[in-house]
Amino acid sequence: MSNAEKKVPAAEHAYLTIRAAIVSGDLPEGERLVEERLSEDLGLSRTPIRDAIRRLTLEGFIERQEGYKTRVATFPVDEMEQTFHIRQFLESYAAERAARLATEEDISAIRALSDEINRLTPPKSVEDYQRISAANEAFHRKIVEVSRSPRLTAHMTMAFDIGMVDRTYRRYSEEELVRSAKHHREITDAIAAHAPDWARAAMQTHVRAAEVAAARSLRSADSSTS
């Protein structure tokens, strides 16, 4: 394969670079995003920058203000609590349905993602964090997919704020990351056992623990900037 074939498309490069800057905190919450400045910094035209901003807005990393102004999204505590409460209800129901409906192929796919998370936990590099975060997102989406409910999928698409989950995930303590990885394994075991009540309870515990960890990380971030 030639270097030209391996080259990442401009819009994808812009998306990954801006997303990484937001997740790492190099672009802090509330920071205004100026297309011209981003274009100069990344050495790209305005078109891929706009495409990246549009995608990151849909994922919850960026929010629009009046006119065409955009800024890095902020996560008020009350909004975060609402998001996790909705997720707890929807995802526990998805896990329950998945435990009833999962095929062996579904279970293998879910277990592979859980194993990936456990193998990389605790993370030892930025790349590990990225791979865990990607596997975590895929794990939760796969369970919703296996629930085989288009209506539930539509609700989860609105409730699952990738930006919030990804940014708070980076602030988890090692103990919280290890606990989260174990939760993924238990949820997988419950689905593999076709035990709906167990799967529901395991997912409720997992999302609730994630909410507590996210709240702690936000308090920690607030105290460090005050």
Which residues, 6 or more positions from 15, have their beta carbon under 8 angstroms from its beta carbon?
51, 52, 55, 56
- 152 phi and psi, to 5 degrees? -65, -40
What pairs with residue 171 in β-bridges?
none
* Tens of each residue's pLDDT in the chain, 226 residues: 334 444 679 999 998 899 888 877 788 888 999 999 999 999 999 999 999 999 898 878 899 988 778 999 887 777 778 888 888 999 999 999 999 999 999 999 999 999 999 999 999 988 898 899 889 989 999 999 999 999 998 888 766 666 666 666 777 889 999 999 999 999 999 999 999 999 999 999 999 998 888 777 666 655 555 5
Token digits of residue 71: 């800024």
The amino acid present at 42, given as its one-letter code, is L
The amino acid present at 66, given as its one-letter code, is E
- The string of DSSP letters for 37-64 reads HHHHHHT--HHHHHHHHHHHHHTTSEEE
| 121, 136 Cβ separation under 8 angstroms | no
Token digits of residue 26: 């190099």
Token digits of residue 194: 């076709």
